Amino acid sequence: MPEELPNRQSIRCKGWDYTAPGWYFLTFNTKARRPVFGTIVNGRMALNAAGRIAAEEWQKSAALRPNLALDEFVIMPDHVHGIVRIVATEGDLPDARTDRGDQQVALARPQVARLLPRSLGSMVAGFKGAVGKRVNILQGTPGAPLWHRNYWDVIVRDDLALTRIRAYIRDNPCNAHAVLQSGPPRLLGNPALLQRPRLGFLASRGDSTPHGKLPLQPGEAILSGFLSPMERAVFRAGLAARRPMIWVKPFGLAQGGESAAIQTAIAEERLLVVSPFDDAIEAPSARRAVWCNHYVIANSTRLVVGHLNPDGMLACLLCETPPDLEILYL
Share of residues in the chain with pLDDT > 90 (%):
43
190-201 average pLDDT score: 95
pLDDT at 183: 63
pLDDT at 181: 60
DSSP state of 267: H
Taking Cα atoms as reference points, which of 294, 152, 296 lies closest to residue 223? 296
The CATH number for 8-170, chosen from 3.30.70.1290, 2.40.160.20, 2.115.10.20, 3.40.50.1100, is: 3.30.70.1290
Which of left, alpha, beta for 153 (phi over 0: left; psi -120 to 50: alpha)?
beta
69-73 average pLDDT score: 94
pLDDT digits (tens, 9 = 90+) for 115-143: 556 688 888 999 999 999 999 999 999 99
- Give the chain's end-to-end CA distance (angstroms, integer): 12
Q: Which residues contact 281 (CB under 8 A, 6 or more apart)?
A: 251, 252, 255, 288
Q: How far apart are CA 254 and CA 188, in angstroms?
A: 9
Name the amino acid, one letter, at 103: Q
pLDDT at 4: 37
pLDDT digits (tens, 9 = 90+) for 251-305: 888 766 678 999 999 999 999 999 887 777 777 777 778 788 888 998 999 999 9
Q: What is the mean pLDDT of the chain?
A: 82
Q: Residue 64, Cα to own-chain centre: how many angstroms?
A: 29
319-328 average pLDDT score: 81
**By mean pLDDT, which of 129-143, 149-163, 225-239 is the weakest?**
149-163
Query: What is the domain partition of the chain in residue ranges?
Result: 8-170, 186-329
Kindly write down the DSSP assignment for every residue of 46-65, as one continuous string.
EE-HHHHHHHHHHHHHHHH-
Q: Residue 118, Cα to own-chain centre: how many angstroms?
A: 27
What count of Cα atoms within 13 Å lies in the side-chain half-sphere of residue 71? 21
157-178 average pLDDT score: 87
pLDDT of 7 > 50? The answer is no
**By mean pLDDT, which of 98-102, 149-153, 155-159 is the weakest?**
98-102
53-70 average pLDDT score: 90
Please give the class, per CATH, of domain 186-329.
alpha beta
pLDDT of 99 > 60? The answer is no
Q: What is the 3-state secondary structure (H, E, C) of 63-123?
A: HHCCCEEEEEEEECCCEEEEEEEECCCCCCCCCCCCCCCCCCCCCECCCHHHCCCCCHHHH
pLDDT at 152: 85
